[in-house]
Amino acid sequence: MISALITRPALLAAILIAAPVSSVLAEYSDPLDSPAAISTMAASTQLLGITKAGERLVAVGWRGHILYSDNKGKSWKQASTPVDIDLTAVSFPSPKKGWAVGHAGVILNTVDGGETWSKQSDGRTAGPLMLDHYETALKNGDESAQKYIEDVRLNTEDGPEQPWLDVLFEDELHGYVVGTFNQIMHTSDGGKTWTPQLELIDNPESLHLNSITQSGDDVYIASERGMVFVKTKESTHFSAVSSGYAGSFFGVLAHNDVVLAYGLRGTIYRSDDRGANWSSVESGIDTAITGGAVLDNGQVLVVSQGGQLLGAQNSDSPFQQLKVDHIAMFTGITPVNTDQVVIIGTAGANLESVSRIP
């Protein structure tokens, strides 16, 4: 089931290997039950996900680090988090309520804008929950549940090792988490309970679900082998759409009806009809594109594993390389305003100026 090409989990692992490792081996404690260490250097360590919580910026990353900034990325404070596990993504549907996910199936929740966090779930509880869900479905006559029972057993036989790769909350109650090998769960009560939805994705090969994005009433999941899974307001499941690309997509940007999917080796594909049809876009680089954002003025920005920032005047325009002051392995980007962005990566979070693209 694993693609021969580089996957997002493999890319994240490679990036995390570059993070500093303590030379002192303390007595072992389960990182799922150990709070993240408070560090004055947290804002300079590996970060993997960033978003806005109202006007506040919130970033997540290495060993449970969660940071927040109230001055547009000029300085950062470290939040209190209950796990010492690498966190991969974060989503805030409102200024106060947010969710973060990461390795070992961790799902965290905050109700104070990201200053303090509690654990809602991890792989030790999610695995049995998924297995029970599909075993019950099989007992009730749903023979298709057998495949998902086998998949869940395979993914959990070595313990809670599978990561959640992304999280999307449409509002304070309804949200998704997605991860490796077609793992997906949905909540309708703000994460108090989660329901597996593996059967609601047209993904018989159990490809990794690398990221999930909403645009209007449409939801997009970026995956391997050039696949994008699309759920519209009218549909009850995610339909598979092949872009014609053979490699992995790591994310999707959507602006009005235009959708951009980005991934390995500088790959960008574009759809003008909300994901139904796709064509290749020249990026001018050959390193993995790992994050992107659309500014309020319509400019499209993407960042790469090679420390590059690319910009296009709008979703119809060609990309060109832009100057950055801080170079690292980039993993994400979020706008501060039309002239500034925060870029995250192996060097932490850095504020960058973005001039209007001619």
> For residues 57 and 336, is the Cβ–Cβ distance under 8 A?
yes
Collect all residues with Cβ–Cβ distance below 8 Å to 315 and sequence separation of at least 6: 253, 255, 256, 258, 260, 270, 294, 298, 300
Measured distance CA(331)–CA(88) in Å, rounded: 10
The string of pLDDT tens digits covering residues 260-295 is: 999 999 999 999 999 999 999 999 999 999 999 999
CATH code where residue 327 lies:
2.40.10
Buried b / exposed e across 289-322, counting CB within 10 Å, b at 16+? bbbbbbbeeebbbbbbbbbbbbbbbebeeebeeb
Measured distance CA(91)–CA(52) in Å, rounded: 8
pLDDT at 158: 85
Residue reference for tokens 């910009």:
311
Structural domain includes residue 308? yes
Structural domain includes residue 88? no
Structural domain includes residue 355? yes
Query: Structural domain tally of the chain?
Result: 1
Q: What's the CA dihedral at 151, 154, 155, 157 to 10 degrees?
A: 140
pLDDT at 23: 38
Q: With DSSP H G I counted as helix, E B as strand and the rest as coil, what are the percentages for the chain, rounded to 5?
A: 15, 40, 45
pLDDT at 343: 98
pLDDT at 24: 41
Structural domain includes residue 318? yes
Task: Print the domain residue range for 325.
Answer: 282-358
> For residues 334 and 52, is the Cβ–Cβ distance under 8 A?
yes
pLDDT at 21: 45
Question: Residue type at 99?
Answer: W
> For residues 39 and 52, is the Cβ–Cβ distance under 8 A?
no
Structural domain includes residue 23? no
Structural domain includes residue 25? no
Structural domain includes residue 118? no
Measured distance CA(60)–CA(62) in Å, rounded: 7
For the chain, which residues score pLDDT lower than 50?
Answer: 1-5, 17-18, 20-25
Structural domain includes residue 223? no
The pTM of the full predicted model, rounded to 2 decimals, is 0.92
pLDDT at 25: 47
